Amino acid sequence: MSTKSLRVLVLVSSNRPGALGPAVGEWLVDALAPRAAELGVELVPLALGDLGLPFLDEEAHPSAGAYQHEHTRRWSAIADAADGFIVVTPEYNHGMPAMLKNALDYLYREWAWKPVGFVSYGNSSAGTRAVQHAKQIVATLRMVPLGATVAIRLGDSVEDGRVRPTPALASAAHGVLDELTRVAHALRPLREAGRPGALPGPPTGSYVRPLTPDDAPEATVLQRCCWVDEALANDTLDVPALHESPQQVRDWLATWHTTGLWRDGRLLGMVRARRSGTDWQIGRLCVAPDLRGQGLGRWLLRTAESAADPACSRAVLFTGARSTGNIALYESEGYRPAPQDEPEGTVRLAKPLRP
């Protein structure tokens, strides 16, 4: 399972004056809060009526992602940042509310490979026909509707405009969140591979994309695994990559251009780079220990070099003075010693970026 937390939008989909949707949404978030904390899930309640979406008014098809209106771009950013959804919906004439259908129609890529659970409410059918209607739509958008649901019969569960908490309803709600969490983690590799900027990587089925501060947990684990060998080779534990906390990694991910190589949700390797005067600094080049010897480090190094700022005339990097494998790799790629006040126990190498 991924080390990342999940963001789950709780979408209240009725805007009718006097609607019970807000009360149902409030009950749901309260009922799920303790379980969400255990699972590492961030619940984000959102009333679709607050988005101010008119009936679909974008000229281009949503699959193009060429949004012209600010309300669409705002909705796109909110939905894109979510890992899954729980929809709170009533049933109108055996179907879902027009507001929910309209909100779904606005977007396309943002929905793909994300699980969606439903909490319905109504009279005789407890809103279940709205859920069946909505499942047809979300499946077309490549979302994954859950089997677990919550169906609230108003006459049995609502009193004075509020949902009456019961162990049975709470258990059903926990079932939705538990299933959504499992499915969201399982689908994360598909979501990641489909993100803008993701490109195929060298191993079959892998992809490469820029790392963001949210990738700090995976980056922290990878660099600790990789720098153990460097610490042994150089007979020192004074290696920053071994001791940095996830927050420290998050901080430098915000300022370095960092490329990550992924497969099936696993970070296989990474390299970071940034400009310093006329130098293009390269660092934290690492590949998971079980994948070394397959050319991935060389590929990542060349990827970092190709992204160099045009104002930079050379690439510069550091490695341990006794890291013979690293030094051999860098020298085979054209790097040569370039001493200049490097930390004790390390060597500095440089390579011209252009003839």
Residue-level pLDDT at 1? 41
Residue-level pLDDT at 101? 96
Residue 215: what residue type? D
Residue 17 three-state SS: coil
Residue pair 149/178 in contact (Cβ under 8 Å)? The answer is no
Instruction: Kindly indicate whether the domain formed by 6-193 is annotated with CATH number 3.40.1360.10.
Output: no
pLDDT tens column, 104-160? 999 999 999 999 999 999 888 999 999 999 999 999 999 999 999 999 998 888 888
Angle of helix 167-193 relative to helix 21-39, nearest 10 degrees?
70
Residue pair 290/268 in contact (Cβ under 8 Å)? The answer is no
Q: How far is CA 51 from the centre of its chain?
A: 23
Residue-level pLDDT at 355? 64
- Fold classified for 200-352: Aminopeptidase (3.40.630)
Residue-level pLDDT at 73? 95
Residue-level pLDDT at 340? 80
Q: Give the residue ranges of the chain where pLDDT is below 50.
A: 1-2
Count CA atoms closer than 13 A to 78's CA, side-chain side.
21
Residue pair 73/106 in contact (Cβ under 8 Å)? The answer is no
49-61 as b/e: b if 16+ CB within 10 A: bebebeeeebeee
- The domain ranges of the chain are 6-193, 200-352
pTM surpassing 0.85? no
Strands (E), 168-297: 199-200, 207-210, 257-263, 266-276, 279-287
Residue-level pLDDT at 81? 93
